[in-house]
Amino acid sequence: MKDEIQTHLGDPGQLERLYHNNKGPFKREFSTLYPTLQGNPLADFWHERLTYETDDLHWGTGRDLLFVLLAGLLAGLIAKIPAIFAIDEEFFYPRNLGFIFLPFLTAYFAWKNKLPAKKTAVLYGIMLVSLLYINLLPGSDASDTLILACIHLPLLLWVLLGTAFVGNNLGDTHQRLGFLRYNGDLVVMVALILLAGGPMSGITIGLFSLIGLNIEKFYAQYVIVFGLAAVPIVGTYLTQTNPQLVGKVSPVIARIFSPLVFIMLVIYLIAILYSGKDPYNDREFLLMFNALLIGVMAIIFFSVAETSKETKSPAEIWILFLLSAVTIIVNSIALSAILFRISEWGITPNRAAVLGSNLLILINLILVTVQLFKAVTKKSDSAEAGKAIASYLPIYFLWTLIVVFLFPVLFGFK
């Protein structure tokens, strides 16, 4: 898309066609190009046009709507496979949850970004291998390596989705940050859809009960299942065709929650000292501690991705720097606890997975914190912190591959 914009910069008609065919990608790519094009009358016009805010909704083309409809129906049918073919739900859903909707989101971005057929084939080849692998992987429901593979496989599919999202600009850090922003926007949009769908479902069931028809079971088994499977697809479509819908909500959420999470984290660390909780010997507490760490990391990543869109106030950058610094302390506690448990009771698949994840997160946090420190001391731009996140994403991908495909073999499928 970026090359096409540059090639047709002097052709208003072709630019218009590019915009109407791929509004989301066009806007993202033009935004990254505009600083080098500023002063060009046509580029200035498009900048004003794309940044002009409107409340009008754009519903896309007929082909777009048809894709969303078919993808939603197919996602619902995949979610109903256990009922259709009498497959054990406890076997099916842990292994195949990511395959319900992520392949369709990948197809959407591959189509909109005009991904070459060879790259698309590679993405779906990896998905097919992963699908066969996870469903043929030996081990009982109590197998640690199987559980770890099931947890990490959606992350692998998520990376494949990101590859389709960035299109032909795989090494572009701006595009990778755009993918993180898309995830934040999608979470907001999905939450809004679910908030609207909940009361509507209650009203629908209530209205039918008034006329003597109890549709709760049918509604739960079909409408809700198909609806939940389709929500990420519909949410993606709405965020890409109407970026203004959550364009202001996501940055506001990032600005509000960053200082709140920082305050909560500081208070929580102090409370740990008084509570007597011991992550070194309390396994359940250590698991919750690591879950907290992952949640805070997600907030940092999302906030930095939003910050990199434009110049932010020094106060916002300071908050992100302090939050990152405190999270390093949390990570260090968790890391020391898992090292202690390994030294005392030996290595297990779960301990190895947590150890590797914590080490990767710690390194990434240090890189981001260093860049944020440079930003608050005016030695560099805050966008460098975003680059530190974007350039590190492939490392997480490699670790996911190791946990999904190598851990079961290394630990004898235990």
- pLDDT tens for 173-191 read 888 888 988 998 899 899 9
**Residues 157 and 202: beta-carbon distance below 8 Å:** no
Q: In the block, which residue shows the tokens 């479509």?
A: 237
**Residues 115 and 168: beta-carbon distance below 8 Å:** yes
pLDDT of 129 reads: 96
pLDDT of 245 reads: 75
193's enclosing H/E stretch is: helix 173-210
pLDDT of 69 reads: 95
Over range 247-273, report the average pLDDT: 82
| Token digits of residue 269 | 């660390």
pLDDT of 234 reads: 95
Of 190, 223, 245, the residue at which a domain comes to its end is 245
Q: With 80 as the cut, is the pLDDT of residue 252 above it?
A: no
Dihedrals phi, psi of 280, to nearest 5 degrees: -75, -30
Q: Domain for residue 100, yes or no?
A: yes
- CB-side neighbour CA atoms (13 Å) of 43: 17
Q: With 70 as the cut, is the pLDDT of residue 397 above it?
A: yes
191 and 305 together in one domain: no
Q: Domain for residue 33, yes or no?
A: yes
Q: Domain for residue 163, yes or no?
A: yes
Closest by CA to 296, choosing from 316, 273, 313, 319, is 319
238 and 254 together in one domain: no
Instruction: Report percent pLDDT > 70 for the chain.
Output: 94
The secondary structure of 63-88, three-state, reads HHHHHHHHHHHHHHHHHCHHHHHCCC
The model's confidence at residue 10, banded by pLDDT at 50, 70 and 90, is confident
Q: Domain for residue 57, yes or no?
A: no
Of 225, 245, 265, the residue at which a domain comes to its end is 245
| Token digits of residue 376 | 């608050």
- pLDDT tens for 279-307 read 787 778 878 888 888 888 888 888 887 76
95 and 107 together in one domain: yes
pLDDT of 150 reads: 94
More confident of the two residues 240 and 160: 160
115's enclosing H/E stretch is: none
**Residues 330 and 296: beta-carbon distance below 8 Å:** yes
Q: Domain for residue 368, yes or no?
A: yes
Cα(74)–Cα(102) distance, rounded to whole angstroms? 12
For 88, counting Cβ atoms within 10 Å of its Cβ (0-12 exposed, 13-18 middle, 19+ buried), the class is: exposed
Q: Domain for residue 9, yes or no?
A: yes
Closest by CA to 93, choosing from 151, 155, 159, is 151
Cα(118)–Cα(110) distance, rounded to whole angstroms? 11
Over range 348-377, report the average pLDDT: 92
Q: Domain for residue 56, yes or no?
A: no
19-28, 228-237, 266-275: range with highest mean pLDDT = 228-237
225 and 262 together in one domain: no
167 and 273 together in one domain: no
126 and 45 together in one domain: no
For residue 252, count other CB atoms closer than 10 A to its CB.
Answer: 12
259 and 214 together in one domain: no
Over range 326-334, report the average pLDDT: 90
207 and 305 together in one domain: no
Buried-exposed string 371-383: b where 16+ CB fall within 10 A, e elsewhere? bbbbbbeeeeebb
Over range 370-398, report the average pLDDT: 87
Q: Domain for residue 28, yes or no?
A: yes
| pTM given for the model | 0.83
State the Cα angle at 176 between 291 and 188, rounded to 5°. Answer: 55
Q: With 60 as the cut, is the pLDDT of residue 322 above it?
A: yes
Cα(164)–Cα(345) distance, rounded to whole angstroms? 43
pLDDT of 119 reads: 94
- pLDDT tens for 50-108 read 766 555 566 777 888 999 999 999 999 999 999 999 999 999 999 999 999 999 999 99
Alpha-helix residue ranges (DSSP H) falling in 219-348: 225-241, 244-247, 249-275, 283-307, 314-345
Cα(277)–Cα(280) distance, rounded to whole angstroms? 9
Type of residue at 409:
V
Mean pLDDT of the chain: 86
Q: With 80 as the cut, is the pLDDT of residue 254 above it?
A: no
Owning domain of residue 188: 62-245
pLDDT of 312 reads: 63
| Token digits of residue 66 | 């048809």
81 and 21 together in one domain: no
Of 245, 275, 290, the residue at which a domain comes to its end is 245
In the chain, the number of structural domains is 3
44 and 107 together in one domain: no
For residue 351, give Cα distances in angstroms to 248, 281, 290: 40, 13, 12
375's enclosing H/E stretch is: helix 349-376
74 and 149 together in one domain: yes
Handedness of CA 339, 342, 345, 348 (dihedral sign): positive
Residues with Cβ within 8 Å of 226's Cβ and at least 6 positions away in sequence, in order, are: 72, 73, 75, 76, 79, 80
36 and 75 together in one domain: no
Type of residue at 248:
K
